[in-house]
Structures are given as C-alpha cells and as structure tokens.
Amino acid sequence: MTGPALLIGQTLDFPADPFHAPLPEAARHDSRGAVLVENGRVAATGPADALRTAHPRASLHDYGDRLILPGFVDAHVHYPQTAMIASWGKRLIDWLNDYTFPEEMRFGDPDYAARTAARYFDLVLANGTTTVCSYCTIHPESVDAFFAEAARRGLRVAGGKTCMDRNAPDGLRDTAQSAHDESAALIARWHGRGRLTYAVTPRFSPTSSHAQLEALGALWAAHPDCLMQTHLAEQLDEVDWVARLYPEARDYLDTYERAGLVGPGAVFGHAIHLTDRERARLAESGSAIAHCPTSNTFIGSGLFDMAGLTAAGHRVGLATDTGGGSSFSMLRTMAAAYEIGQLRGTPLHPAQLIWLATAGAAATLRMGDRIGRLAPGMEADLVVLDLASTPAIAQRAARAGDIWEALFPTIMMGDDRAVAAVWIGGAPLS
C-alpha cells in the first residue's frame, strides 16, 4: 500500500442535494482546497495550506486551479453497444433490430467480449467516469468479460446478464429457467467480489415473458443486495406495445411490479412517458430513475420531466445510455440534460448537473455511502477537470464571476480534453 497523497486544486463537494437545499448549503467550494487520500479512501478535505502543514509527508499532486471532483457515475449503459454508438437514424424498436441485436450476437465469443470491455473502460475513464452500471448481453461470457476487466482496473461497477426470452432473434433468447439459473451462477461468481455489484437485468417487458419476469423477481428477492435494472416508458410506441403484450397490467410499471421487480435497488432507465400512478408508485417504492438525455434526443424518445420528478422526491441519476446515447462523456450528458430542461422551461443549475453525475447517480445505485462525494471515508475515485481546456472554453471561463460561471462552459462545451487526471481507489491512472 502506498503512502498518503495530497491533491491540491479547487475542490467542490455537495453536503446536501441541490434539488432540495439552498445552494449555499448544498455546495461547498474551495478555490484552493485539498483532498488527502490514504488507503484508497478520502482521509480529509479542507484548505490546502492547512492540510499540507498537517500532512508534510504526503506525496503532493498540485493541480493548480483545476477542479477536483468525485469521479463521474454513469447509472445506465450498454457496454456491448460500444462499437455501434452514433449509428444513424432509428427509433427504439428499429434500433434494437437493426443495430443492437446483430452486435450483441457477437458476445458469445469471450475474446470479442473481452476486447470490447477493455475498449469501453478505456473510453469512459478517459472521460472521467469511474463507475458505471451496465447491461451486458444474454451471454454469460459478456458478463465475465465486463467484471473481469473492471476487477483488473480496480473499478466499482455494477452489471448483469441481459435476459430475453421472446421478441428477439434466434441466438439472443434464453428461457425463464436459464435466465434465472445463469444469473444466479453469475451472482455467485461476481457479486460482492472486490468492488463489483450484480444487477438482475431483464432488458424490458416486451422481451421477457410473464414467466421470465417472475423468475427474475424471485431471484432478486433471494439476493436483495443486488441491484435490478431495466427500461421503462422510453417511447410512446413502446408503451403501446407493452399494453398489447400485458393487457391485464394497469400500466407499464405494473408489468414489473406484479413480478416483484419494483422497490429499493431497482433502477429504471428513461421513465419519460409515465402515468400518474407510475410516478407515485416509483416514489413510494424507493425505486430509482436513470435519466439518459443524449439517448432521449438521439433516438427521439421525448423530454424527461426532471423538475417534476425531483420535486416529487424521486431519486434520479444521470446516464449516457451508450450506445443509444451518442457520447461516452458525462460532460456532454450534463449538457444534454441542461438543454432538455430548457425545452421544458426548467433549466438546471450547474450544481444540479454535477450532482446528478456524481452523488445523485451514486445514490440511484445504492452506492452513495461509498462514492460520489469528496468526504472523509469515501472511496477515492476522483476526476480533475481543466476549466480552460480549449480556447473557446478558456476565453469564456476567464470572464467568470464565480465557480458556477467558470464550470458551466466546461459542462456545455467540454470533452475528454477537459479531464486532466483520474484517480481510482486512491491511485492516479498513468
């Protein structure tokens, strides 16, 4: 174990949720702050001079006026779609049939899955994302590749075998029984190993029979410390399809609720076209929502009601939804969330955007006690942002009157060039 390290720069942390607390109480900014890292965790934060004096033997990493944040957390991704990101011109069902399913067929090959997992983590780490929650494919090999690569890098991640027993091509269908049994074997192999969390993963109700959803509900009930992830109310034609497939259900959410797939630890991707009952039940049950703004605009799904859902007490985190989402960058994802808020007449403050990509997303994954904040005891996954990474950003940031005006141009125009450093488990990436 290496000795303590002291990171110096601007620091920004959120003691409270900026959707529910006044900004001066929610955010804590230090223009010359420091983060002491020891044994893989944040040991202390505070003014740089005070921490340097208190810890003279710590190795020094002075980032000047760059901004030290918790590593970004991406609450809903599809790592097998890495190679097909930014494919042209489809809506959800066509996207699945024309792009997603043909690509996912390849993940029964362990070598292909391993190469894609390695490339995926290279891309997200270059963008400052240190935790993801990913759908894999129906192939156990795809899950093994994802977790093995994450473990090799020491990452805290979640993921699971995507289960489908209907409305999918030959070679991408399992059964209710095999979905249960293969997922159970993967839980035994990976869940709780190091920093890994398993997520029970029905793709969505149209590709799972009643029997499969019930089998996965029973599996989750047997392993309640796992997550459960699926899709909900992404597009209107999808909602109509679910109504035809499940005529007995009150609504889309009810297809999951009847199977025991709603509650704390459930992460529902998208949740754009919700009924009043679904909104109320999601909040009451303690389920979480992953907002995927670049995906929602790229494949024409709709405008997420961030203001209404957060005001009603929903737990919401930000997500790229790669490859339906068009970027691996959480900065670009924050920018898209801002733009959707503008279209709904409810623009988000920069503090809220950063919160959604760090502490908010961590909370949706039930990891808020371990990642997502710069606070003593938290795991030291960190990103350091250059707030003047390009000439266009630099000239705007130079006119800033406070940290929010300095940060916002990077949110709106930044990319991997803004990522000056990434730390995983208290160690910098080379």
Domain 72-364 fold:
TIM Barrel (3.20.20)
Residues 136-153: pLDDT tens digits?
999 999 999 999 999 999
Phi, psi of 322 (to 5 degrees): -60, 140
pLDDT band at 430 (very low <50, low <70, confident <90, very high): confident
Q: pTM higher than 0.75 for the full model?
A: yes
Chain center to CA of 110: 25
- The span from the CA of 120 to the CA of 417, in Å, is 18
Asked if the domains at 5-70+372-428 and 72-364 fall in one CATH topology, the answer is no
CATH code of the domain made up of 5-70+372-428: 2.30.40.10
The helix or strand, by DSSP H or E, that contains position 227, with its residue range, turns out to be strand 227-232
The per-residue b/e assignment along 63-101, b for 16 or more CB within 10 angstroms, e otherwise, is beebbbbbbbbbbbbbbbbbebbebeebebeebbeebbb
Per-residue confidence (pLDDT) for residue 395, from 0 to 100: 98
Task: With a cut of 60, say whether residue 65 has pLDDT above it.
Answer: yes
**Domain residue ranges in the chain:** 5-70+372-428, 72-364
Which tokens go with 128?
């400052």
Q: Model confidence over 202-260: pLDDT tens digits?
A: 999 999 999 999 999 999 999 999 999 999 999 999 999 999 999 999 999 999 999 99
Q: Following DSSP, what letter does each residue of 30-52 receive, concatenated?
A: EEEEEEEEETTEEEEEEEHHHHH
For residues 335 and 131, give the distance between their C-alpha atoms in angstroms, rounded to a whole number: 19
Averaged pLDDT, 340-351: 98
The per-residue pLDDT for 278 is 98
